[in-house]
Structure 1
């Protein structure tokens, strides 16, 4: 026996050189308490393997399970545990797929960790159902991994429950496994301290999504039904197509219903945001709270944007909340319009002014859309909350006459729809001025987009949604807190101002 010449490895192994062949062999120098020995007993093979793995990591190599031998009754009697470098890599041939060229293609040589190492341990199942070591080969034909590099060995890497929870928790706010690994690296103090690699983190998420697989929608529906059973105030409904695929899903919790009771005079909904890998459309119902911030009354996923889908959805909404809103704001979607007319018969349907205004620029042409006088007069008549319907109609006709637009087909259609989008015709609807466009819905979509992505499963989506609701409701509580305990700086000595500061929320004041 002779020690390794390397000063760094002097305590790592003992080296032996074969006189006949000149080949070198290495025996680990490991504490006797964790070194296998002939005659040791283990309650199970898994226990024996775990013991050998601890020994292997202390020595600086990885182990794996290998051959087993069964007796005539099919009972496993002998088991082998070998060094991961046992055997040799064999290049696999693959079929070229061509009839003309029937040659086999050998895969490109990517290198191999196998070097034919013979280090191993043999275990036999005794009559007392315990495994006994009856042979132990200590020597390896390769050097061992340095202590600072042990974390590169597969056996030293694992995704335990803590890491799984951490990765899943970060995924709730749309942080992927690679970023989660980088965060863990910072938290633990280095790559080697994490106990896992980026690939391990990615594989965990991949395996989790594979596990969800085709049962994704079923898992979500069951989750919502269980929540409904546990929480009487929670509502959910769903519809399945003839192909057994999810066509629609609606849900609203107790807090959403309370918010609707207080802030539900007017809401908007928009169905343009696809938030999952199945292309189901996410439809949040968005209102405005007393701090002039978005508040979500409920949500839905739809497989199609047809009038029948919207009718089903709006019926679910009315059944859940028990009443119709005074005003509903949407874009110019024809299917939505028919569904609202059929289901929300007591609600006033309002079209999004912003969408119509944006179309105006293209419909009248670049020259007129750049005309300052035209834009000023149109802005005053369209966006003005104070003028009467009569004044609107007088000014509208004057503008059409001044700029030669009396026969413009699109503008004539918009004039015929004036009761559905011009503020002058909504004076009789309380709070109708709060929401004139679907920009609230679009900002809500952006908000959800911050913590969601179109590649997520439905299970992930609902985790993201609940996270978004926690954020939104926390913001509402913070605004309530600021209103109660932070006094606005007075602008004047007027009593009216002081009274207004005590009545209105801080943001509105």
Structure 2
């Protein structure tokens, strides 16, 4: 006799004084004690024998819904076809059908010998859920091209999941379009799937409200890499070339090797070009590593804006750091911007030097002080770098532009002698290059003071480093770069807003200070304000001479800290308000000095001299660029149109929620209206197909997967300067970063390092397997 017991899915049961939770369903116990479980659901949701469906997918979806309500999962299994290839029967079985396959063994191979021959492989622990369940649903085709339930086995040999755990079933887990978009967008800010999953928990009110697990989030990120795959270079080139075609002012150039592999990629938009016209007098470009999976070097072109913040003019990716690659890059820059910069600041890369001499022949090339001084500790030793006297003396002659070349050379020789550094070859080489990096030697050059702001290039690299990683594909990298540009330009916009609509306090009653407040941006005004205050409290006239209508003032600085103990000569011609100071601050920075303000004040000048106002530092330095976003992007892909519509819909809902949040009653009414709208949509569009992962990814990336033969192949793993050679001594900082880096993933099938796949989904192995002749 077997017994059938109705199980109450709400109340707990007690077994041997242990409180247990009940599972859904009806339990049947056989005479030998075996238990079988039948879902306790209405017949209307059961795929009973004889039930007819218009399509096979409708039938499968019906069975999946039944399984979800019952507390188990299903999977597709065997199928049979007729002689003409038409599907005749399709088996859908419980996911716990069958048993876990037994691992192969060979007793002829001794265990110890096997370990010597073959390194033991670490295997992932994968518990099995298979238990030989026989529950299934068989669909059979009819003569009318419909499908009928041919057989339905309802009983299972295992309990169903707890009612509270149904959201964890695979059939219950689904990343919606909005959540996939969220995962992609936060990834542009280097937020991985795990952190994004935790963010969504807070946004949606709990893990169960997400509708997916952290593994689903990681799988979606993996799906992006698989979608891009071997088409990475082709897709990024198509993306940027489409922008060049449809977006006004956008420029893009690329070149490949003889095999079609991407070698170089350059791009710049209209906003960047406009910024170059305003702030392109001094630019810096520096090769940055660790920005993408191919080890292509990232080369941003940067400058200083009117708020004394970094501004990016263009960007490039290069697979080789040869002078030919850099020469191509500079030609692409000239083609896009139409002119050479006045000054170019780089590191000591000899390839850059050759390329600049060939392509930027009218530009002055200077070396980045920050890069050189950063090497000081490794070149002179840690002990000497701990010596405060040495550091103070060397910095006093390097990080200043107020001394003359003769003073620099005299103090340099003194330092070398005092600390016995005559045999240090690196210091000898740096002294030989002093004309290219020591400010004392180019203090007469216009805006040479911007080159003293040497850390801005490195600051820019750090800024981009926060939004890039060594695992990024090229398409993802461009998306991350655009996010970085949005951040940078939004910062400039907020700085402009603060300048226009806030008023800094005046510290003196001098009329020129008030006028300067209306001329310059807030950051630059504070610099001018400091100089005006210093002209009152820290400057003193020692003597005055008059020569042919020109007054010569000899100014001495006073105060607790005086960098220069000599006299500054200021020439002032009242007839045309011409000024010239021996400190040369205006020539070096484009900003007036305290000595000039001192002379203007004591001469009674009450009008800020316009000839000494450089437009690049003013409030209106940047001419606004008409933003062409929606109409231009609409031509690129339907995804852009969809994004705009979704943004408008979410904005409308957010507006309503914000409007009604103070009233529970009104909020409930709004909720009910949305529920009615959902029901109406389900009724009008019962079979509306959701977007596939590929469609969502294509929409997010802004480019489709190529359907034709690949024209631009992915770059090979690039060899950076110093890689796999013994010629370069690796600095401690770089060694620590390398040692602490996560071990790259390797596919066990194809052996690819730093792969975006594993042995389970290796496309190379699957292709090889398909091409193998049958035994």
- In structure 2, how many angstroms separate the alpha carbons of the residues matched to 1:286 and 1:96? 66
Stretch of structure 1 that moved more, 285-294 or 5-14: 5-14
Change in CA separation of 1:353 and 1:17 when aligned onto 2, cut-off 3 Å: closer
Match of 1:53 in 2: 64
Counterpart selection for 2:314 from 298, 308, 312: 298
Tell me, yes or no, if the aligned pair for 1:91 and 1:109 is still in contact at 8 Å.
Answer: no
SS in 2 for 1:169: helix
Task: State the match for 1:242 in structure 2.
Answer: 258
- The corresponding residue for 1:63 is 74
Q: How far apart, CA to CA, are the structure 2 residues paired with 1:97 and 1:336? A: 62
Matches within 5 A, 1:330-341: 330-341=346-357
Tell me the CA shift for residue 295 of structure 1. Answer: 0.1
Instruction: Check conservation: 2:23, 2:162, Cα contact below 8 A.
Output: no
Unpaired runs of at least 5, structure 2: 13-21, 115-119, 526-775
Alignment of 1:74-85 (within 5 A): 74-85=85-96
Cα offset, 1:194, TM superposition: 1.9
**What is the match of residue 18 of structure 1?**
30
1:336–1:124 Cα change, 3 Å:
same
Q: Tell me how far 1:485 sits from its aligned partner.
A: 0.7
Query: Contact conserved, 1:329 with 1:437, CA < 8 A, in 2?
Result: no
1:136 is aligned to 2:139: no
Q: CA RMSD in A?
A: 2.9
| CA distance, structure 1, for counterparts of residue 124 and residue 406 of structure 2 | 81
Q: Report matched runs for 1:303-452 at 5 Å.
A: 303-359=319-375, 376-389=392-405, 391-393=407-409, 410-436=426-452, 438-452=454-468
CA distance in structure 1 between the partners assigned to 2:78 and 2:148 by the alignment: 16
SS at match of 1:227: helix
Contact 2:45 2:66 in 1 (8 A): yes
Are the aligned partners of 1:11 and 1:29 in contact in 2 as well (CA < 8 Å)?
A: no
Does the residue aligned with 1:456 lie in a helix, a strand or coil? coil
Q: Following the alignment from structure 1 to structure 2, what is the Cα–Cα distance between the partners of residues 63 and 27?
A: 15
Q: How far off is 1:95 after superposition? A: 6.3
Greater mean deviation of Cα atoms: 463-472 or 488-497: 488-497
Which residue in the other structure is 1:218 paired with? 234
Q: Does 1:479 align with 2:482?
A: no
Q: Distance in 2 between matches of 1:95 and 1:345?
A: 72
Cα distance, 1:131–1:364 mapped onto 2, change above 3 Å: closer
Q: 2:39 aligns with which of 23, 28, 37?
A: 28
SS of 1:112's partner is: coil
Distance 1:363 1:74, change over 3 A: closer
CA contact (8 A) 1:266 1:328 kept: yes
Does the CA-based 8 Å contact 1:39-1:134 persist in structure 2? yes
Aligned to 1:3: 6
CA shift at 1:245, angstroms?
Answer: 1.8
Asked whether 1:199 is paired with 2:215, we answer yes
Q: Return the match for 2:83 from 61, 72, 75.
A: 72
Write the distance in 2 (CA, Å) between the matches of 1:365 and 1:90.
62
**Alignment of 1:274 onto 2:290:** yes
Q: CA deviation at 1:8?
A: 3.0
Q: Distance in 1 between matches of 2:84 and 2:221?
A: 41
Return 5+ residue gaps in structure 1 as ranges: none
Equivalent position to 2:244, from 228, 232, 240:
228
Matches of 1:377 and 1:469, distance apart in 2: 39
Q: TM-score, normalised by structure 2?
A: 0.61
User: Aligned to 1:273, what secondary structure does the other structure show?
Assistant: coil
Indicate the larger mover: 294-303 or 324-333: 324-333
Structure 1 pair 186/268, CA: closer, same or farther in 2 (3 Å)?
A: same
> Relative to 1, partners in 2 of residues 1:33 and 1:269: Cα closer, same or farther, differing over 3 Å?
same
CA contact (8 A) 1:286 1:296 kept: yes
Say which SS state the counterpart of residue 292 (structure 2) adopts.
Answer: coil
- Indicate if the aligned counterparts of 1:269 and 1:438 stay in contact, CA closer than 8 A: no
Tell me by how many angstroms 1:377 deviates: 4.9
Counterpart contact for 2:64–2:74, Cα < 8 Å? yes
Spell out, residue by residue over 1:364-403, the C-alpha distance to the aligned partner (whole angstroms, 9 max, x if none).
6678766666655544443332334455456556666777
The match for 1:458 among 474, 477, 487 is: 474
Residue 488 of structure 1: aligned partner: 504
> How far has the Cα of 1:408 moved from its partner?
6.8
- Summarize the alignment of residues 86-235 of structure 1 with structure 2, pairs less than 5 Å apart: 86-93=97-104, 111-235=127-251
**Matched position secondary structure for 1:255:** helix
3-state SS of the aligned residue for 2:523? coil
Alpha-carbon distance in structure 2 between the residues aligned to 1:74 and 1:490: 87
Q: Deviation at 1:169? A: 1.2
Asked if the contact 1:148/1:192 (under 8 Å) is kept, the reply is no
Determine helix, strand or coil for the equivalent of 1:290.
Answer: coil
Q: Is the 8 A contact 2:252 2:265 kept in 1?
A: yes
Distance in 2 separating the partners of 1:366 and 1:140: 72
- Residue 277 of structure 1: SS of its match in structure 2? coil
> CA 1:496–1:23 in structure 2 vs 1: closer, same or farther (change >3 Å)?
same
Deviation at residue 353 of structure 1 after TM alignment? 1.9
- CA–CA distance in 2 between the matches of 1:425 and 1:87? 81
